[in-house]
Amino acid sequence: MIDDETYEELQRLAADDHEDPDQYASRRLTADLARARFLEGAKAFVEEHGQAFADRFGSGPRSHAA
């Protein structure tokens, strides 16, 4: 359950996207969960392969601009 203020904001954002509030909330939740899964996967990759990646490619930004 969400509070009235949050639901009003949800309705406003859905209206801005010309979308039903339930569909808007579902789409945003799906996107947020996908982002969370991606970030968890990236973290796991770094923990498992980060050092080897840094050894091979370096660990800091470098500019190759002329």
Whole-structure pTM value: 0.64
The pLDDT of residue 52 is above 90: yes
Flag whether pLDDT at 66 surpasses 70: no
> Is 39 in a helix, a strand, or coil?
helix
Q: What tokens were used for 5? A: 């203020």
**Structure letter (DSSP) for residue 33:** H
Token pair of 50, please? 């980060």
Q: What is the pLDDT of residues 13-40, one digit of tens each?
A: 999 999 999 999 999 999 999 999 999 9
Q: Are 10 and 24 in contact (CB under 8 A)?
A: yes
Angle in degrees, CA 24, 33, 22, rounded to 5: 20
Residue 14: other Cβ atoms inside 10 A = 18
Q: Which residue has the higher pLDDT, 16 or 2?
A: 16
Length of the chain as a residue count: 66
